[in-house]
Structure 1
Amino acid sequence: MTKDEIVGLITGKLTSERANIEAQWQNPEDTPTRHFVIDGLLPENIAHAIYDAFPKSADGFYSRESFREKKRTSAKIEQYDPILGAITFAFQDPETVKLVADIVQFDRIEPDPSLYAGGLSMMFEGDFLNPHIDNSHDASRDRYRRLNLLYYVTPDWEMSNGGNFELWDADCKVPKTLVSKFNRLVVMETNKDSWHSVSPVTVPGPRCCVSNYFFSEISPDNSDYFHVTSFTGRPEEHAKRAIGAVDNALRNTVSKLLGFGRGKDEARK
């Protein structure tokens, strides 16, 4: 399966679901963050082939582990089965980008071939991602991060497995949970208030996901701003909330002064 063939499948599905996507995007439920969900994005045999192409362990993946998160990612797409590159860059194809941008009515949207903070993700039992807002910019700080595209490919993934995507209300008190369901695409907007997370995985896993971000020179609210990826705790995690506020302020200050953003070295060159 080539990238161009996958592009045709993705754009065909998005076009057929356009009215549904626009309705979801324009009227988000239980969260202020605009988003849409498409199930059955690709024929199941292709989605299974993508999952089967993921490595059997996270050896070689970059591991993050702190009070903020525990996850494993890789932007080194060339090291793996070609179908993983095909699906990753099918989302970045001009035809796909143009269609998504047109549906959500965003201007001057561009993909990120460097896969800064994107690429392949594997999460295992105990892995999690606390509520956070994404880094506001790309690695060079020339463009604002505007859209997050997440494509899940682990078969038979259920709510009880954990590892599910969560979109929060403005106070990060109540989440809207979207199961990381097999062959499901989730697209969300990214801005100063788009708090999201991944619930702790409760099974050995892996929960496999292909991630992409789209950027634009245009700010989400037409203001000039910058912030690092900023975390808080879950509603019951009072200590993490307090620590997170201090941690976010410190990392933001250091990043502004040094011009250094975390994860830059993990991106493709």
Structure 2
Amino acid sequence: MSLLALHDRGGLPAFDTGQCRAAGASLAGRYAAADPFPHAVIDELIDPALLASLLPGFPDRTGKRFFDRDQERFKYQFAPDDIADAGLRHLLAELNGGAFLSFLEALTGIEGLIPDPWYLGGGLHETCAGGHLSVHADFNLHPRMKVERRLNLLIYLNADWPAAWGGDLELWDRDMIAARVKVAPLLGRAVIFNTDADSYHGHPEPLACPPDRSRRSIATYYYTALPEGADAALPRTTRFRPRPGSADRPDREVAFDHFVQDWVPRRLQHFARRLNPFRA
């Protein structure tokens, strides 16, 4: 039985606020105590059979641009506007709805969560054979809403996924010494975690799946308002970190931007960024 049930509401599936809040509260202690940072790995957060029924509607990547650089390769991203299937679009909307927010707030203890109607960086993800996402900490401010990123939710959509194909999500300790948690991306498995400046995560090893398979997931992100306003916060872009003893390449473009952010007067930062020698 899945942790959260979707009930019929006028012909459409919907979460129940009370059930969501109770389910979140039941896991709150485990979430707060998790290592290396607050997180939860939940099998069957949503009924896997329901998720499997939606897979035929996963969007076609033909002709779509993908990330192809040292830090993230062969990764596609689909916002709701890229998704024709009504079932998948509705599920994304439910994950941004009030009932599901009550689950997240009870689980994490973070109140006043704000969903992202633009799904910046989120929606549906797909990574093809040979692709990867290096270990990183996420950007912290939403550029349009001027709110602070607090939580990531990932729900995997991969049926019949052998361990030999890889694609495990890795959660690294704050000192980037070792991966403390590895999560296989199996159908119906969800991962929820706090997004702080040192919440390092990724799936850094190239996928070994056949060319006709890919690693698929739902990704939604959640924010809170900044009590002192966005101007009081120091914006950070996604920060990639090489694993010790690996061939991972540092993201020098982002490192330069961080240097500008930290050391160049704000009125001159626009001009300094234009001089970034590592920009592609």
Q: Common fold, TM-score beyond 0.5?
A: yes
Judge conservation of contact 2:153–2:192 (CA < 8 Å) in 1. yes
Judge conservation of contact 1:134–1:229 (CA < 8 Å) in 2. yes
Judge conservation of contact 1:25–1:35 (CA < 8 Å) in 2. yes
Aligned equivalent of 1:195, options 197, 200, 207? 200
Q: Which amino acid aligns with 2:28?
A: E
Size of the alignment, in residue pairs?
A: 250
- CA distance in 2 between counterparts of 1:235 and 1:28 reads 23
Q: Tell me which residue corresponds to 1:262.
A: none
Could you tell me the percent identity over the aligned residues? Answer: 22
RMSD: 2.8
CA drift of 1:165 comes to 0.9
- CA distance in 2 between counterparts of 1:214 and 1:101 reads 10
Judging changes above 3 Å, is the alpha-carbon distance between structure 1 residues 2 and 81 closer, same or farther for their aligned structure 2 residues?
A: farther
CA drift of 1:60 comes to 4.9
**Following superposition of structure 1 onto structure 2, how do residues 37-48 of structure 1 map, counting pairs within 5 Å?**
37-48=41-52
Aligned equivalent of 2:241, options 218, 232, 236? 232
In structure 2, runs of 5+ residues without a counterpart are: 1-5, 272-280
Greater CA deviation, 71-80 or 207-216?
A: 71-80
Greater CA deviation, 102-111 or 8-17?
A: 8-17
- CA distance in 2 between counterparts of 1:212 and 1:148 reads 6
2:132 corresponds to 1:105: no
Aligned equivalent of 2:224, options 192, 212, 216? 216
In structure 1, runs of 5+ residues without a counterpart are: 260-269
Judge conservation of contact 1:130–1:231 (CA < 8 Å) in 2. yes
TM-score, normalized by length of structure 2? 0.79
Judging changes above 3 Å, is the alpha-carbon distance between structure 1 residues 22 and 63 closer, same or farther for their aligned structure 2 residues?
A: same
- Structure 1 or 2, whichever has the larger Rg, is 2
Q: Tell me which residue corresponds to 1:167.
A: 171
- CA distance in 1 between counterparts of 2:201 and 2:8 reads 29
* SS of corresponding position for 1:188: strand
Q: Tell me which residue corresponds to 1:206.
A: 214
Q: Which amino acid aligns with 2:141?
A: H
Judging changes above 3 Å, is the alpha-carbon distance between structure 1 residues 224 and 3 closer, same or farther for their aligned structure 2 residues?
A: farther
Judging changes above 3 Å, is the alpha-carbon distance between structure 1 residues 68 and 122 closer, same or farther for their aligned structure 2 residues?
A: same
Judge conservation of contact 1:158–1:180 (CA < 8 Å) in 2. no
Q: Tell me which residue corresponds to 2:257.
A: 251
Judging changes above 3 Å, is the alpha-carbon distance between structure 1 residues 47 and 141 closer, same or farther for their aligned structure 2 residues?
A: closer
TM-score, normalized by length of structure 1? 0.82
- Higher relative contact order (Cα pairs below 8 Å, separated by 6+ residues): 1
- CA distance in 1 between counterparts of 2:153 and 2:110 reads 14
Judging changes above 3 Å, is the alpha-carbon distance between structure 1 residues 114 and 185 closer, same or farther for their aligned structure 2 residues?
A: same
